[in-house]
Structure 1
Amino acid sequence: MRSHHASLVLHRLRARYPAPRTQLNWTTPWELLVATMLSAQTTDARVNHVTPELFARWPTPAHLAQAELADIEGVIHSTGFFRAKARHLQATARILQERFGGNVPQTMAELLTLPGVARKTANIVLSNAFGIHEGIAVDTHVKRVSFRLGLTTATQPDRIERDLMGLFPRPTWGDLNHYLVLFGREVCLARKPRCTACPLADICPRNGVPL
C-alpha cells in the first residue's frame, strides 16, 4: 500500500535528517517571507548573498514600503526577475503595513492575498515561522523526488501537494518539505541521481529515472 510505502520513506528520511531546516537565512517572519519570495528561480545561496544588505537597509515592512524601487532592484538584481520581485516585495510591505499592522499574517488565506505569494511560499512561512501546517510546500525538488519515489503521479504542484497531504501525518508536513528538498539536492539529483548510494533504493520504483 502507498501509505505503508510513505511511512517507510518518512522513517528513513527522518533518520537521515534529524534536524531539518530551511537553507534560507532568516530571523523574523518578515525576513523569511522576503527570502522565500526572492528564492523563486534562483538558489538559496544566491538569496542568502543578497539578504544581509536588504535586511540591513530595510529591516521591516515599514522601511521597505518607503524605499525607492530602483534601490530595491539594485540590491536584489542578481536573484533574477528582479523588477517583478522588487515590485512584489514593496507591494507586500505596503499591504502588511496597511492591513496587518506591519506583521506577517498567520493564515493561508491572508498570505495568498500578498503579491507574489502562492501556496509554496505561504506553506514555507507558516510552517517555519509559526509552526502552522496548512499544507506541504512543493518546489522542483519535492516534485521530482515524490514522483520518483512513487508518492504521486501528478505533475501539477497543487495535485502533488494533495497527494502528499493524504499520505503523511499533518505534524510532519513542514519537515517533509525539508526532507525531500535536502534529499533532492544530495542524492536524488535531477540529471544523475545517485541511486547506488541511495538509502531508499530498495523501496524506490525509480519512476522516470533512465535505466
Structure 2
Amino acid sequence: MLKRDQIETFFARLQAANPAPKGELNYVNPYTLLVAVVLSAQATDVGVNKATEKLFQRVDTPQKMLKLGEAGLKEHIKTIGLFNTKAKNVIRLSEILLRDFKGEVPQDRDILQTLPGVGRKTANVVLNIAFGLPTIAVDTHIFRVANRTGLAPGKDVLKVEAALEKRVPEPFKLHCHHWLILHGRYVCKARKPDCGRCVVRDLCQFKEKNV
C-alpha cells in the first residue's frame, strides 16, 4: 500500500500531466448529464455520445423528455446496450423529477439513488461533475488502478471508495476520480498496462510492470 507522501506525489504528478481533467460524456446541464450517465451503464462513452448528440439538441429537460416519450427515446438510443430498460428508467426518473423536485436534479446522493437506473456510482458522477462536490465514483478502471498500484486496495467498489475517501488528500479529491478513470482507460489498461508512459510507475506497487 502506498504511503501518505507517495500518494501526495502520485496525485501531484497526475495533476501536472492533466491540470483540469473532464469526464468524456457529453451533456448540456445536470439533467442531461444524469441521463447520459444512466445510459452509459455497460456501454462506452463514445457510443453514448453518438446516441445523445441529436437527442440533447432536442431534449434537455424532463418535460421535453416526457413529451418525446419512451418510443421516441428508444429511436435515439437503440444503438446502446439495454436500451429498452434504459428508456423506461429515463422516462420514469423524468416523471419523478417533475413530480417531486420541480424538474431539478437533487444534489443529494441518497435521493439520487432512489431514481430508476441510478446507483451509487451514477449519483457520485452527477454530484461531482454537475455540482462540483468531491465525490469519487468507483468504476472498473478506478477499482483496477486503486488495487493494482496500491493506492487504495479493496475487495469491492464500496471498500475502494471508502479507502480513497480516507487516503486521497483534500486538494486532489475534486478531480480524483477523473484522473484515475483516465489513467485506467488510457495508460493502466486492464490487459496490458502501458507502464512505459506511466507518470507514477516508480510509485506503483504492481509487480508485473511492462517497462
User: TM range, normalised to the smaller chain?
Assistant: over 0.9
Aligned pair count reads: 210
Question: Whole-Å Cα distance in 2 between the matches of residues 174 and 115 of structure 1?
Answer: 26
Q: What residue in structure 2 maps to residue 157 of structure 1?
A: 157
Query: Cα 1:129–1:139, aligned 2, differ >3 Å: closer, same or farther?
Result: same
Q: What residue in structure 1 maps to residue 193 of structure 2?
A: 193
Structure 2 residues not aligned, in runs of 5+: none
Q: What residue in structure 2 maps to residue 183 of structure 1?
A: 183
Question: Whole-Å Cα distance in 1 between the matches of residues 41 and 112 of structure 2?
Answer: 17
Structure 1 residues not aligned, in runs of 5+: none
Query: Cα 1:152–1:90, aligned 2, differ >3 Å: closer, same or farther?
Result: same
Q: Offset at 1:30? A: 0.5
Q: Offset at 1:153? A: 2.4
Q: Check the 8 A contact 1:149/1:207 in 2, yes or no.
A: no
Following superposition, which runs of at least 4 residues in structure 1 exceed 6 angstroms of deviation? 208-211
Q: What residue in structure 1 maps to residue 44 of structure 2?
A: 43
Q: Offset at 1:59? A: 2.2
Deviates more, 1:160-169 or 1:201-210: 201-210
Give the aligned CA root-mean-square deviation in angstroms.
1.8
TM-score by length of 1: 0.93
Aligned residues with identical type, % of pairs: 41
TM-score by length of 2: 0.93
Q: What residue in structure 2 maps to residue 93 of structure 1?
A: 94
SS in structure 2 of the partner of residue 68 of structure 1: helix
Q: What residue in structure 2 maps to residue 166 of structure 1?
A: 166
After superposition, residues 99-114 of structure 1 pair within 5 angstroms as 99-114=100-115
Q: What residue in structure 1 maps to residue 53 of structure 2?
A: 52
SS in structure 2 of the partner of residue 69 of structure 1: helix
Query: Cα 1:170–1:121, aligned 2, differ >3 Å: closer, same or farther?
Result: farther
Q: Offset at 1:170? A: 4.1
After superposition, what is the alpha-carbon deviation per residue over 1:23-58, rounded to whole angstroms, capped at 9, x for unaligned? 111120011111111111111111110112222333
Question: Whole-Å Cα distance in 2 between the matches of residues 41 and 180 of structure 1?
Answer: 19
Q: Check the 8 A contact 2:152/2:167 in 1, yes or no.
A: no
Q: Check the 8 A contact 2:8/2:169 in 1, yes or no.
A: no
